[in-house]
Amino acid sequence: MIAIIDYGMGNIHSVQKALESMGAQTLVTNSPLDIKSCDKAVLPGVGAFGDAMAEIKKQKLIPSIKEHIKKNKPFLGICLGMHLLFDSSEESPGIKGLGILKGTINKFQAQNMMKVPHIGWNQLNRVQRTGHRVERECPLLKDIADSSYLYFCHSYYPEPKDKSVIAATTDYLRDFTSIVWKDNIYGVQFHPEKSQSAGLKILENFVKL
């Protein structure tokens, strides 16, 4: 069972429909007990970092999210849901994130006629280190072709302190992190539920973990 965490900010039903089309059993919930008891959890999100953290605190979801992750259960943050995993965001100065991954969320700076927010289809590039692929590929990228196109809609991007958590990047205004992976923790900047076959395959890979 996959818990889809409903804190009032996210494409809950489109994420649920996409996961179920990949064979998942899902439960849309804001119950801490449900989050702790489910096998996997997804944190979607659309909106402002500060507002989202306020809702998560109000609904007393932080301990259950951290306990789920501590128990080594797969956890996926989507777009804003990935941002919330980090320490802080330029979008909401002074507001602390979940701090599960170290780093900040930074704002794109528009330049050369390229607009912010970044909206539309863009390519995913696997991270290479010293000229070689990472020894173990991120499980979300199984059977995903190099330079696959995914759908993005965001003005902010993650800047992890630990570069080893970066599983893929995308080029828009700069080379930014578009997938993070650390142990059982996954985060994607794009919207897999809106990304047609490649996005659905990524969700299928998460379902099969």
Q: What is the DSSP letter of 144?
A: P
pLDDT truncated to tens, each residue of the chain (209 aa)? Answer: 999 999 998 779 999 999 999 999 999 999 999 999 999 999 999 999 999 999 999 999 999 999 999 999 999 999 999 999 999 999 999 999 999 999 999 999 988 778 899 999 999 999 865 444 445 789 999 999 989 999 999 999 999 999 999 999 999 999 999 999 999 999 999 999 999 999 999 999 999 99
Q: Are 4 and 33 within 8 A, CB to CB?
A: no
Sign of the alpha-carbon dihedral angle for 28, 13, 25, 192:
negative
Q: Which backbone phi and psi does 106 adopt, to 5 degrees?
A: -110, 155
79 is catalytic: yes
Task: Give the HSE-up count for residue 143: Cα atoms under 13 Å, Cβ half-sphere.
Answer: 11
Catalytic residue among 79, 83, 91, 138: 79
191 is catalytic: yes
> In sequence order, which residues have a C-beta less than 8 Å from that of residue 113 and are 6 or more positions away?
none
pTM equals: 0.94
User: Which of 3.40.50.880, 3.30.2130.10, 3.65.10.10, 3.30.390.50 would CATH assign to domain 2-207?
Assistant: 3.40.50.880
132 is catalytic: no
Catalytic residue among 38, 83, 193, 204: 193
Residue 42 to residue 2: CA distance in whole angstroms: 7
Catalytic residue among 68, 118, 154, 191: 191
